[in-house]
Structure 1
Amino acid sequence: MPTDHRAQVAELMADYQRSRERLAETHQELASITETARSADGRVQVAVGPQGTIREVVLADDVYDKLRPAQLAATIAELSAAAAQAAARRAADVLAEVLPTGTDPDVLLGGHADGASTSVLRNEPGPIDDDVSEDEDFSAGSWLQQSPTKRM
C-alpha cells in the first residue's frame, strides 16, 4: 500500500511541476506581447504592451511641422487605444489556451472583447445593517491589515 501512495504523490508532484512550467511560459508569452499602431501617413507610431502600457512612441522628424500639438496628442491617444485593443486580443488568445473551457479570458484581463473595460472595486462599503451589535467591526478595511487581537 505505501507504494501506491508514493506513486500518487509522485504523479501529483509531476502534474504540479508541469502546471508551474506552463504558468511560467504563459507569463513570458503575456509579458512579450507588443502591438504597434501607425498613423495613416506613417509619421506617428505607438507600441503598447498587453495591459495598454505605452512602450514606445516614434515620431517622424517633420511631425511637428505637419501636426499641431493638440492633433499630435489626439493621434497618439487614438493609436495607443487601437494598439491596446490589439494587444488585449493577443493576450486573450494566449490565456484561452490555458484556461478551462467556458472561462472568458477577456473578463480576466479586465475588459471585454468589444474593447470596453470595467473596473472591479475592492473593499467597497456595503449597506448598513442596523441589527449589528456595537462590538462587531465590519469596516471596509482589509482584515489582513488589522492586528490579530482586533480580528477576534
Structure 2
Amino acid sequence: MPTDHQAQVAELLADYQRSRERLAETHRDLAAITETARSRDGRVQVAVGPRGALREVVLADDVYEKLRPAQLAATIAELSAQAAQAAARRAADVLAEVLPAGTDPELLLGGHADGESASVLRNEAEPVDDDVAEDEDFSAGSWLQQSPTKRM
C-alpha cells in the first residue's frame, strides 16, 4: 500500500510528465507557424516562419517583365515584413495559452521592456553606414532588415 509520500511523488511525476508533453506540443505548434503575404497583383508571394525567417518566395513567370529588380526586392522585403508580423502575432497567441496570467508573450518573443517589439520580429531597417570598409563581415546581418533605398 503506497504511503502519502509515495502518492505525492507519483502526483509530482505525473504533473511533470504533463508539463513536458505540453511544452513539446507548444514547440510543435510554434514550429508549424507559417504566414504568407502576396502582392496586390499576385505576382509575388512570400512565406515566413514563426520568427520571420523567409521560407519560400514564389514569383510569377512574368514578374521580371513587370518589376525592375529594385522594385522586386522592395516588394519581397515589404511582404516578408508583413508576413513576419502576422507570424509573430500567431506565435504570441500560441504562447499566451501556456504562460502565466499577466505575462506578455510578445516580450518573451523578443520584445523590450518598454513594449517595443524587437526589430528582428518586425523586419525594420537598421541604419547602414555607407563608409564601412568593403572587407567587413556582414554575415550576421540580413538584407531583409535593410530598407530598399539603403541597398542601392
Q: 1:32 — aligned with what?
A: 32
TM-score, length-scaled by structure 2: 0.74
- 2-structure distance, mates of 1:33, 1:118: 19
Distance in 2 of aligned mates of 1:70 and 1:49: 24
Larger radius of gyration: 1
- Count residues in correspondence: 118
Q: Does 1:116 pair with 2:95?
A: no
Structure 2 segments unaligned to the other structure (5+ residues): 121-152
Which structure has more RCO (C-alpha within 8 Å, separation ≥ 6)? 2
SS in 2 for 1:36: strand
Aligned AA (1:35): E
Identical aligned pairs, as a percentage? 83
2:52 corresponding residue in structure 1: 52
Kept in 2, the 8 Å contact 1:31–1:50? The answer is yes
Runs of 4+ in 1 over 4 A off after TM superposition: none
Equivalence for 2:106: 106
Q: Map 1:1-152 to 2 at 5 A.
A: 3-111=3-111, 116-117=117-118
In structure 1, stretches of 5+ residues that fail to align are 120-152
Structure 1, residues 23-48: CA drift from partner, whole Å, max 9, x if none? 00000000000000000000000000
Equivalent residue for 1:139? Answer: none
